[in-house]
A and B are shown apart, each in its own frame.
Chain A
Amino acid sequence: MSSADSSLALGHSPLPATNGTERTLLTAVGLGLLALLVAAFTADVEQARLSFYAGLALVCGGTLGWSWYKFGRGEEGVQQNNLWLRSSTSRGAVAWVVGIVLTGFYVVLYWYPHYLENLVRTLDPFSLALRARPADQWFLYGTFYTLAVLVMGGRALWKYRNSRYQLVRTGSVMFFQLGFAFILPGILLFFQKPEFYFTYFWPLKYDYLFPGTVDYLIKDGQALGVFMVFWGALMAFLATPVLTYFYGKRWYCSWVCGCGGLAETAGDAYRQLSDKSRRAWRLEVALIYPILGFIILVTLLMWADRLLQNALLGSVAGGLYKTYGFLIGAVFSGVVGVGFYPILGNRVWCRFGCPMAAYLGLLQKHFSRFRITTNGGQCISCGNCSNVCEMGIDVKQYAQRGEPIIRASCVGCGMCSNACPRGVLNLENGPREGRYQASPLIHADSLRILS
């Protein structure tokens, strides 16, 4: 071993060798992915279907088995060993390969869906049973997405089984993804009703409050459609402020939302990659609020356009809508948001792009009872809290000053509290009076020290 090894370049550190069981399980996942690829290039639908379901079984079974083997046995507790030493979770070669594959999948999904035709056709029987119509690329995507949340949700349940908060919260995102973002929209279609997602609201699902959607829902869905429009407006303008007042942004972002659900489960291994620098925080503010402003503007223009009977703004509003749909809806939330998980972290979309997060964040910052409390003077500045913050909040900056953490971007995932080795951080809802008050037990000007 050369003397150059005395540097602090710990990335070169040898990891304990992967043992036989782990290798077998990971091989199953790999074979499953291979089978899916084979299915994608198999024109014969029966053969493709066999390969597809065998592939899914191997991927899901292998991943669950590996998760249990890795996190489900042994002592409960914080399980972060070798996180920054593994290539897959520290922007190494494995991470780049995964990122490129994921990004490629999104590019194909959005712009070259005909390459997915063979895979889509394998899902026809399932789609017919659930939705009474043949599958399409979005049904394929929804199936993959939901499986990812469920299977990786299993991993999260094992990994964080020391924390009841994490168990309940993970269960919640799995439930809402499966029930409200996959099965219920399918059932609606089965009964010839409009496809509607009760867990997505304006401004995230921006078109739910566009005049065109409202007209369509009311015309096509009749009484149920009226309810859907009512539901969408109620959730966006009444329930969101009220729930955020009592519980903070987390009631949505890390408990209900599908994007959050994927981030918390499939993206969990990448949470430490979020950029904690002040530069990134500035970029976040410069992007997310203009995006919220933009979607508000487009919505208003759409309605103005309709009131003026398409006289002035028709093409402008339509153009803005299309631009937004392409740039924000497809490129940002899909390609960058998920495709870059292994490089930029699992909440890039939520942090820099989501207009719903911006809206919830403003409410959380200014009209909420939520905060993360710092426990007196117990912080040791170790940085574990900042490390696991998927939203890139430098949590320790607050903790080491004894200050509560009240940040617009905080999604309340609770990982900082879980990772803290000294029990310093706790998510709490409490009176708004003194919400920003720092602990008197730590500050230099504290009465205790100067008494």
Chain B
Amino acid sequence: MHLVIIGNGITGVTAALTVRRRQPGARITLVSDESAHHYSRTALMYVYMGHMRAQDIKPYEDWFWSENRLELIQATATGLDTGRQQVHLSTGVTLAYDKLLLATGSVTKRYGWPGQNLRGVQGLYGLPDLARMEQDTRGITQAVVVGGGLIGVELAEMLHTRGIHVTMLVREARYWGSVLPPEEARLVDQQLTANGITVRYQTELAEVLADADGRVRAVRTTADEELPAQWLGIATGVAPNLSLVQHTAVETDRGILVNEQLETSVPGVYAAGDCAQHRQAGAGEVPIEQLWYTGRMQGETVGHTLAGQPTPYRRGIWFNSAKFFNLEYQTYGQVPARPAAGSESFYWEPANGQRALRINFDPARSFAVTGFNALGLRLRHDVCEAWLREQAPVQTVVAHLGAANFDPEFYRQHEPEIVAHFNRAFPQQAVQLRQGKCLISKILNL
């Protein structure tokens, strides 16, 4: 079997490794126009900030690919002929495949703003973007970032390390308003303030203004404010990269449409990761998932199917993480920005406002926990996942909170304070702390 994978991001690579493990004899070719070797997209910011070099963000050493007989081609896939089962490459080569995986990722979404294609206006998705940003932000003093999400705050942090003043334009009334409840968003806002980032909430981009050389000089906001900026970061989301499949038999909507097994409308052609759109997303799940973790999981799942073991994609219990300047964020289960009907929410934040913990639960279902948000605290993934899966009552969770504590040794343990706070907030459900951090091994062995 010859498997051709378009894209060497986390999805394509995870699929290739899964197939290699399950089918040692398969021929596997990965095509990418972006880089010779797989690299970690999530680490681009650290290269700009000088924490690492470009070669340090490759998850595998270069020998890894040939030793595992994974053929790498650096070229653009320019054409797809599903009838003949061929992919045409920019190098003039034609690749014949038995099975094809489209893991083409995303492109930066732009909303048709006047001047959006000026020099110095860009998103941050891949290595070419990083190179352009490196070049276009040299020696500048002011930048604007549009978008109040994860990439927006990353861009702000990156620019901040170069001493560039950043103004963020955020459409909602608070940071990441579609995802974070107000309390959490306020903690992120404190980070932005502490690092000298100016934020304009409920403000969008109206127009990009050019200088004489066709470069961004300033932006005009929907509040009709003109902000001087020599660089503009677009962080208003990404859209599936459909350039290869347009005008082919492969059905698309916003993304490449796939069924539960991540197969497209054309038999033998699969799509996974950012570029895929699920025809029937699971309850409470979105049809297009654009995260590192979902990319990896979709890659694993489709790898099984490609290796002859048809496997439906199951997102499982949601988890995600991020870091906002110095504030770490982890989430498990469902913590919507606005509380779901009937659900209760317990929120704790110490007086100094450096961290927070939120636990959502459902009084109608024996107080089963439904989600966790942790800021400035590290929670143990497997413990939280088990509580959510087993629908553990919030009383049990709070009483055994130490079992989920993943903070390093000697860190202050907040459990007693959290339990006291919980008992004040929910006196009917009051509990006693039964498990501190040091007893962690006990619960894991149960």
**Interface residues in chain A, defined as those with a beta carbon under 8 Å from any beta carbon in chain B:** 1, 5-8, 10-11, 13-14, 16, 75-78, 80-86, 90, 162-165, 167-168, 272, 277-278, 373, 375-378, 380-384, 386-387, 394, 396-397, 400, 414, 417-418, 421-423, 426-427, 430-431, 439-442, 444, 448-451
Contact = CB atoms under 8 A, between A and B. Distances in A.
B127 interface: yes
Contact of A165 (B49, B330, B411): B411
Which of A167, A378, A417 has most chain B Cβ within 10 Å? A378
Contacts of B409: 164-165, 427
Interface stretch (B57-65, B178-186, B220-228, B356-364): B57-65
Given A5-B135, A75-B326, A375-B380, A422 B321 contact: yes
A439 B304 contact: no
A19 to B, nearest CB: 10
B43 A423 contact: no
Interface string B409-427: 1111000000000000000
Interface stretch (B268-276, B295-303, B341-349, B395-403): B295-303
A381 B10 contact: yes
Contact of A423 (B48, B54, B406, B440): B406
Interface residues of B, number: 72
A82 B321 contact: no
Interface of B: 10, 14, 17-18, 21, 40, 42-43, 46-54, 56-61, 63, 127, 130-132, 134-135, 138-139, 161-163, 194-195, 292-293, 296-297, 300-301, 303-304, 311, 314, 316, 319, 321-323, 325-326, 328, 330, 378-382, 385, 406-412, 440-441, 445
Contact of A444 (B132, B303, B314): B303
A35 B378 CA distance: 49
Contacts of A377: 293, 296, 319, 381
A162 B381 contact: no
Contacts of B17: 444
A8 B330 contact: no
A444 B304 CA distance: 8
A450 B195 CA distance: 44
Contacts of A272: 52
Given A377-B296, A380-B43, A382-B43, 9 more contacts: A14-B139, A16-B162, A81-B50, A376-B382, A381-B43, A382-B57, A383-B46, A430-B441, A439-B381
Contacts of A430: 440-441
Contact of B314 (A80, A278, A396, A451): A451
A148 to B, nearest CB: 25
A294 to B, nearest CB: 31
B31 to A, nearest CB: 21
Interface of A: prevailing SS: loop
A378 B445 contact: no
6 contacts: A10-B47, A83-B50, A381-B42, A382-B43, A383-B59, A421-B328
B56 A1 contact: no
Contacts of B48: 10
Nearest to B313: A449
B40 A380 contact: yes
A13 B134 contact: yes
A164 B52 contact: no
Contacts of A13: 50, 134, 138
Contact of A386 (B56, B195, B407): B56
Given A16-B163, A82-B161, A427-B408, A376 B380 contact: yes
Given A8-B130, A8-B131, A81-B51, A164 B61 contact: no
A10 B60 CA distance: 21
Contact of A441 (B21, B132, B328, B385): B385
Contacts of B59: 381, 383, 396-397, 400
A8 B303 contact: no
Contacts of B380: 375-376
B319 A439 contact: no
B113 to A, nearest CB: 25
Given A8-B127, A81-B161, A383-B56, A449 B330 contact: no
A8 B61 CA distance: 19
B316 A163 contact: no
Nearest to A8: B54
B70 to A, nearest CB: 15
A221 to B, nearest CB: 38
B18 A444 contact: yes
Contacts of A14: 138-139
A163 B408 contact: yes
Which of A163, A394, A440, A449 has most chain B Cβ within 10 Å? A449
B352 to A, nearest CB: 12
A372 to B, nearest CB: 11
Given A376-B380, A422-B330, A450 B304 contact: yes
Contacts of B410: 164-165, 167-168
A6 B40 contact: no
Which of A16, A377, A431, A442 has most chain B Cβ within 10 Å? A377
A167 B21 CA distance: 43
A450 B301 CA distance: 8
A426 B131 contact: no
A439 B161 CA distance: 35
Contact of A10 (B10, B53, B408): B53
A245 B389 CA distance: 35
Contacts of A448: 314, 316
B325 to A, nearest CB: 7
A14 B163 CA distance: 12
Which of B139, B293, B328, B381 has most chain A Cβ within 10 Å? B381
Nearest to B410: A164
A335 B421 CA distance: 57
Which of B61, B127, B323, B406 has most chain A Cβ within 10 Å? B406
B63 A278 contact: yes
Given A82-B161, A278-B63, A376-B385, A384 B52 contact: yes
A376 B293 CA distance: 11
Given A163-B408, A448-B314, A450-B304, A423 B49 contact: no
Contacts of B47: 10
B63 A376 contact: no
Contact of A380 (B53, B60, B292, B325): B292
A84 B60 CA distance: 20
Contact of A421 (B57, B131, B323): B323
Contacts of B163: 16
B328 A423 contact: yes
Contact of A278 (B42, B61, B296, B385): B61
A169 to B, nearest CB: 9
Contacts of B21: 444
